[in-house]
């Protein structure tokens, strides 16, 4: 509204489209460190690790990192370091057995009632702990053959009541690519629910624009978006506003995190993550134990430590702010809860 004494608002130039921001991200860890005024040598930067799994970080995410802080929990999630290049027994290239259960359509059905659809291999950010860091991204996704194969596979199995879009990150696909998929799923009678697992609203919140909200609103059943945030400091006002735009359309928001040494492996970090999520109406869903993927052993937290963090969190936070601690065990019919059977085990 223009009232006397105020100036008419100048038409501001439109903010950059999210795809421009996606392209503009950092792709060189040396450059990232120089932005933060940190010494590559002291940080253990490894070109070899970067060659194995390239660096990729949106600028807006880097803006949330602390200048000159070598222990910044956001930086640690994305910086390729020497520790990744050491072999560790039990850390393998396909820890969750997705290669074994893959189908050419990109549809993975490991659990009753739910099918997970690998929509793309691409992500806006490359997380060093990712279990997909060795996945042959180019081949294993439905988008390459467009969606017919995936939609046919889902349509042929009436047990699939929920479809989970995963990747990579499904929101790294354009609306143009996602539209026929989401519309196609909406036309299959037995598909009652749609779920999207994504880190984009956290690392590139501009992705959640009006067109995307519109697209989700067209799905006939309930839609759940599961964010992947690992630290309270990842959540700033831009993330809050992306989340509020989704909530405004009745979309349920949950969060799934990975327990990571040096990032969030203490009760204080877990509590501040839960508080930051609750402040924007997002419920903590899962806290995952790391998948033992080659190159990520330095992020591992033992079950014993994990259980003690959970016990402390349970004492300090309301029950709805306490995520379920789980791990993915190949061949099991669900994520496997990690629970202390009576007194804590003393295996390590």
Ligand X SMILES: *Cc1c(COP(=O)(O)O)cnc(C)c1O
What Cα–Cα distance (Å) separates residue 239 from each residue in 282, 320, 348? 11, 21, 38
Site string for ligand SF4, 203-242 (x = CB under 6 A): -------------------------x--------------
Nearer to ligand SF4, 125 or 251 (CB): 125
Q: How many residues bind ligand SF4 (CB under 6 A)?
A: 11
245 burial via Cβ count (<10 Å: 0-12, 13-18, 19+): middle
Token code pair at residue 324: 């379920």
Closest by Cα among 246, 235, 298 to 81: 298
Q: Are the CB atoms for 322 and 310 separated by under 8 Å?
A: yes
Provide the binding-site residues for ligand X, judged by CB under 6 A. 108, 110-111, 114, 116, 164, 334-335
User: Shortest distance, CB of residue 198 to ligand SF4, whole angstroms?
Assistant: 8
Closest by Cα among 109, 280, 117, 278 to 194: 117
Cα(126)–Cα(168) distance, integer angstroms: 10
User: Shortest distance, CB of residue 141 to ligand SF4, whole angstroms?
Assistant: 12
Question: How many beta carbons lie within 10 A of that of residue 220, not counting itself?
Answer: 12
User: Shortest distance, CB of residue 254 to ligand X, whole angstroms?
Assistant: 9
Is residue 130 a contact point for ligand SF4 (CB under 6 A)? yes
Choose which of 64, 110, 126, 335 interacts with ligand SF4 (CB under 6 A): 126
Nearer to ligand X, 94 or 305 (CB): 94
Choose which of 123, 165, 191, 259 interacts with ligand SF4 (CB under 6 A): 123
User: Shortest distance, CB of residue 108 to ligand X, whole angstroms?
Assistant: 4
Contacts of 16 (CB under 8 A, 6+ apart): 24, 206
Choose which of 98, 140, 162, 169 interacts with ligand SF4 (CB under 6 A): 169
Nearer to ligand X, 109 or 304 (CB): 109
Could you please report the per-residue DSSP string of 80-98?
-BGGGGS--TT-BS-TT-H
Nearer to ligand X, 233 or 324 (CB): 324
Nearer to ligand SF4, 151 or 171 (CB): 171
Could you please report the per-residue DSSP string of 281-312?
T-EEEEEEPPP-BTT-GGG---HHHHHHHHHH
User: Shortest distance, CB of residue 203 to ligand SF4, whole angstroms?
Assistant: 7
User: Shortest distance, CB of residue 127 to ligand SF4, whole angstroms?
Assistant: 3
Bridge-based pairing state of the strands 107-111 and 193-198? unpaired
Contact residues for ligand SF4, defined by CB under 6 A: 123, 125-127, 130, 132, 167-169, 199, 228
């Amino acid at each position: 509204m223009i009232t006397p004494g105020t100036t008419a608002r100048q038409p501001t130039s439109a903010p950059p489209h999210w795809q421009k921001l996606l392209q503009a991200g950092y792709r060189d860890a040396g450059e990232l460190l120089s932005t933060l005024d940190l010494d590559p040598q002291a940080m253990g930067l490894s070109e070899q690790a970067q060659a194995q799994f390239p660096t990729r970080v949106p600028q807006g995410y880097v803006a949330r990192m602390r200048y000159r802080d070598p222990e910044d929990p956001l930086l640690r999630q994305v910086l390729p370091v020497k520790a990744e290049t050491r072999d560790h027994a039990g850390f393998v290239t396909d820890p969750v057995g997705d290669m074994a259960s893959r189908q050419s359509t990109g549809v993975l059905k490991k659990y009753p009632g739910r099918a997970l659809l690998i929509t793309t291999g691409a992500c806006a950010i490359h997380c060093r702990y990712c279990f997909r860091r060795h996945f042959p991204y180019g081949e294993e996704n439905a988008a390459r053959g467009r969606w017919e194969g995936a939609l046919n596979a889902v349509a042929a199995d009436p047990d699939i009541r929920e479809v989970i879009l995963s990747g990579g990150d499904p929101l790294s696909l354009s609306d143009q690519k996602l539209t026929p998929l989401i519309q196609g799923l909406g036309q299959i009678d037995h598909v009652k629910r749609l779920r999207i697992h994504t880190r984009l609203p956290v690392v590139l919140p501009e992705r959640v624009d009006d067109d995307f909200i519109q697209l989700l609103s067209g799905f006939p059943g309930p839609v759940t978006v599961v964010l992947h945030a690992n630290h309270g400091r990842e959540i700033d006002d831009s993330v809050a506003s992306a989340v509020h735009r989704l909530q405004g359309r009745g979309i349920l928001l949950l969060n799934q995190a990975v327990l990571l040494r040096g990032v969030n492996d203490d009760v204080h970090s877990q509590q501040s993550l839960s508080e930051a999520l609750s402040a924007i109406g997002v419920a903590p869903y899962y806290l995952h134990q790391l998948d033992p993927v080659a190159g990520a052993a330095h992020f591992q937290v033992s079950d014993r430590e994990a259980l003690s963090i959970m016990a402390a969190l349970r004492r300090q936070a309301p029950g709805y702010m306490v995520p379920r601690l789980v791990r993915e065990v190949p061949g099991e019919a669900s994520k496997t809860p990690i629970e202390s059977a009576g007194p804590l085990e003393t295996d390590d």
